[in-house]
Each structure stands twice: as C-alpha cells, then as structure tokens.
Structure 1
Amino acid sequence: MDDFQNFLETSLTGQQSSIHVYDLSSRKVWLKKASERHGLWLYTPLKWLAKIFNLGAMVPVPNQGGSAAIQCESKRIQQLKSLGVSTPNVLAISQKGILLEDIGSQHQTQVIQLDQALAQCQNDIASKSLLFSQAIQAIQYIHSQKGYLSEAFARNILVDQNHQFSFIDFETDPLEVLSLHDCFVRDWLLFIFSTAYHFEFEKLADASQILYRALLAEPQVYSDICKVGKRLKWVLNFNISKVGNDGKRIQKCVLFLRYLKEQSEKNT
C-alpha cells in the first residue's frame, strides 16, 4: 500500500465532512468520502418538467451517492484525461472515498473558480468577455472530442493566471440517462445558467453573441438550446427579481437564451 492509499484509508475514519482539504508535504489534496445516496424523489419535479416541456437535456441526472458516486468520479476523470482535458489526478481510491490532487498543486499555479474570476472582472467588460469566450472554447474542445462534463456550472470550472481551464466534480454521468447530443445541450444550459448572472442586463445580448458564434459549429445543439429558451420565455412575464438573487439569476438566464435565439434572426 503506497503512502497516498494509506493516507486515504487512515483519514476516512476520522473525517467528519464529506470533503476536506489536506496539505501533504508540498502537495494539496482533497479527500471525498462516500456519502449517502441522494433521495431520488428530489429529482421527480424536474423529471416531470422535462417531460411536460419535452426538454430531453433537462432530465435530471441523479447522484447515486455512496461508493457508486466515488467510482463514477474516478471513471469520468480518466475519461476526460484521455481526451486531453485537465482534471484532478486520482491519487488513491477505495469503496469509501477518493483522494484527489488539488488542481493548483497539480499545475503549480494559482487557480480560482470561473464564478469568482468573472465576478472579479466587475465592470471590466472586455476582460469579462474574453474570459467568457475562452471558457466557451474550453468546453467546445471537450465536445469536439466527443466528451462532456458532469455538472458544467461555473463553480466546477477552474481557471489559472494564464487562462488555462480545468474541470472538477464528476460524481454523476449524464450519459447514463441522456444521449450524447443532450449531454452537450445540458453542458451549455448549465454553463449559461451559472455565467449569465455575471453580466449586466444591457450586456447580455453581447454575451449571447459570443456563444452564438461558437455554436455555429454545432447547429443542432444551438437549435435545441433555443427551443429550451422558447419554452421558458413565460418566466419573463413574472417579476421574479423580487425574490432576490435567485430570481434575478433565472431572469438573466432566460433573457440570455432569448438573445441567443435572436442572434440567428439577425444573421439571416
């Protein structure tokens, strides 16, 4: 048993939280414990919503929890690594947990979540747009290799000082319940939902144009994303901004989707 495997086995019993960071010599690592399976009933409303609106890409991807989630994480990391995608190194694994190398330690550079990076740009729209565009290109590369993410939220996309991107959080495998095409659509929808919020309302149309240009290479994916936006446009009839940041986030997401659809109309 090597040092990492031994550390995993001995630390699992004492660790209370489901995920914890440790410093091992000059290496930073994350230990994720097998946690209880997520109640499948939690996904029922979203499942019915996807069925009613015929939104295949919105079918929920349950996190099975426990050892299944741990094994899924390892499998998905290796799948993406084989495509040349930057993901955490798996240092050790067991039925009860997985030890992952921190991306910053792995590449010996400082990394932050894309969510934070976009927020730090604040009113520097040029820097924000560039970062947004580069993140899109990183996801595009994955799709071009027939790969897909698990939870393509901005919090699961890490970026370093050289704008090199890495991806984390792979406890689910969307391909178990979706087609590869719908996995692509789902990636973009989650990405839009978690990034549109960082643009001011008057800048959403410009941001949508950046994604539109990228999706010219994926016309059917673009079409299906626009269908989702069309079926959700009723949301804009409500003043959901009154419910706080979550309402504003949803509103900006749906507006982004509307502007994304309008981009094709402007160019025809």
Structure 2
Amino acid sequence: MSNFTELLHASLDQQNESIQSYEFEHVKVWLKKASTRHSIWIYTPLKWLARLLHIEALTPIPNYGGKKAIQCEYRRITSLAKLGVSTPKVLALCDNGILLQDAANGGQHVIQLDHALAQADGTEQRLKLYTDAMTEIQTLHHKGAYLSEAFVRNILVDAHHHFTFIDFETDPGEILNLKNCQIRDWLCFIFSSSYRFKLEEIEQASTIFYDALNKNKKVLREICKIGHKLQWILHFKPEKLGNDGKRIQKCMLFLKKLEQHEPLPMI
C-alpha cells in the first residue's frame, strides 16, 4: 500500500467536507469523498425545458453522488489523460474517495479561469485568455472527447496559459451522443464566461467564438439555433434578478450576437 493510499484511507472518516486539500510529503493533494447524491427534483425544470424546446444538449446530466460519482471521476480523468488532456493526476482510489494531485505541483501557480478572466488587465488580456481556453477545448473535441461541466470555474490556468480541466463527477456521454456532449461543453463555457465580459466586450468575444468554430458549421449552427430558441428570456429582464440574472442576460446577449454572425436560414 502506497503512502498516498494510506493517507486516503486515514483521512476519509475524519474529513467533513466533500473535498479538502492536504499537504503530504511536500505535495499538495485534494481528497474528494463520496457524498450524498443530488435530488432528482432539481433537474426536473431543465429537463422539461429541454423537451419543450427540443434542445437535447440541455438535457440535465444527473450527479448520482456516492461511490458512483467517485468511480465516474476516476474513469473520466483516466480516459481524458490517455488522450493527452491535462487533468489532475490520480494518486489513490477507493470506493468512497479519490486522492488527486494539485494542478500547481508542477511549480506554476494556477487559478480558476473564472477568476483569471475577472482579474485580467484589460480587454486584450481577457480576450487572449478566452481565445486560448477555446483552443484547448477545441483540441480535446478534435480527439473525440468532451468534458463533464465545462464551466470556467472548472478550468484552471497558469501564467503561461496552460489549462487543466477538473470536476468529472458526471458523464454526459451516458445520456447524450458525442455531438451533443460537445455542444453542451460550449453552452456551459459560453454561459460561465460571458459574465466576465463587459457589455461592450461581448461582441468581440462572440466574433472570436464564431471565427473559432466556423470550420465546424454543424455545431456552430446548432448553438445558434439554441440561442435563437432562448432569446425570449431577455423579455423578462433577467438582469434585475441579481448576479445570476446578469449571467443569464450576458449569455443571451452573447448568443444573440453570435446569431448575427451566422444568420439562421429562412424556413
């Protein structure tokens, strides 16, 4: 039994949080333990919205929690790592927990892309971060892969714009085909990144997105169709509902700008 395995077993029962960091043998590690599954009821509104609007990519992906989520995390990290996708290194595994090496142990300080976009020194730096993150996602998509929750909080970045992807407790591939898994990645990315742009930067960001995906017309047009179906949300002035509402507003504005680059065919 390795020292990391001993740490995993020794810490599981004592750890109260679902995820916690430790310093062990000069290495920073994260222990994720099996936790209670999410209630199926929280997925019901999104499930019905996806059905009503015929948007398969919005079908909610349940987090089953417990041992199943731990095994899913291990399976997804392992499969992505084999494709050369940067993910946390698995140090130890058991039914009720997984021990992961911190992404910064290569010597580079890393932060969530969400924070990096917020802290960027001006529009140019923010758009550069955004562009490089998109390129990284495209690279893994070209390998026939997809993420689990492609929100910018689940993407780590260092000063050299090297990206690491985290949080794999769900597997969209259990429910969706590859195309819709990848569309879902982009929808998660758009929703979470748009909030970090100023209103006057959203058009530039949408242009970058359009140019990047222009060679993959089927995916781009599907994203535009989804955005078109969701534009009614803007009539309810979501920005009046606090930060969550502003996230929705900026996401919808981004999708509206994107559709202007790629007008939908007249039927």
Give TM class, smaller chain: over 0.9
Whole-angstrom CA distance in 2 between matches of 1:133 and 1:17: 35
1:71 matched residue in structure 2? 71
2:52 matched residue in structure 1? 52
Cα drift, residue 240 of structure 1: 1.7
1:137 matched residue in structure 2? 135
Cα drift, residue 203 of structure 1: 1.5
Match of 1:232 among 212, 218, 230: 230
Give the secondary structure class of the aligned counterpart of 1:60: coil
Give the secondary structure class of the aligned counterpart of 1:159: strand
Cα drift, residue 264 of structure 1: 2.3
> Equivalences for 1:244-263 in 2 at 5 Å?
244-263=242-261
What is the one-letter code of the residue matched to 2:110? V
Match of 2:179 among 178, 181, 202: 181
What is the one-letter code of the residue matched to 2:123? I
What is the one-letter code of the residue matched to 1:226? C
Give the secondary structure class of the aligned counterpart of 1:8: helix
Give the secondary structure class of the aligned counterpart of 1:92: strand
Contact 2:221-2:262 at 8 Å conserved across structures:
no
Cα drift, residue 161 of structure 1: 0.9
What is the one-letter code of the residue matched to 2:73? E
Structure 1 runs (4+) deviating above 2 angstroms are: none
1:217 matched residue in structure 2? 215
1:11 matched residue in structure 2? 11
Cα drift, residue 241 of structure 1: 1.3
What is the one-letter code of the residue matched to 2:236? F
TM-score, reference length from structure 2: 0.97
Greater Cα offset, 145-154 or 255-264: 255-264
1:35 matched residue in structure 2? 35
Whole-angstrom CA distance in 2 between matches of 1:96 and 1:250: 36
> Equivalences for 1:109-124 in 2 at 5 Å?
109-121=108-120, 124=122
Q: Unpaired runs of 5+ in structure 2?
A: none
Contact 2:224-2:262 at 8 Å conserved across structures:
no
Whole-angstrom CA distance in 2 between matches of 1:207 and 1:6: 47
TM-score, reference length from structure 1: 0.97
1:11-64 deviation line (CA, Å, top 9, x unaligned) = 101111111000012100000010011111211111111000000000000001
What is the one-letter code of the residue matched to 1:57? A
1:211-241 deviation line (CA, Å, top 9, x unaligned) = 1011112111111111110011011112221
What is the CA RMSD across the aligned residues, in angstroms?
Answer: 1.1
Greater Cα offset, 147-156 or 34-43: 34-43
Whole-angstrom CA distance in 2 between matches of 1:264 and 1:45: 29
What is the one-letter code of the residue matched to 1:234? W
**Identity %, equivalent residues:** 52
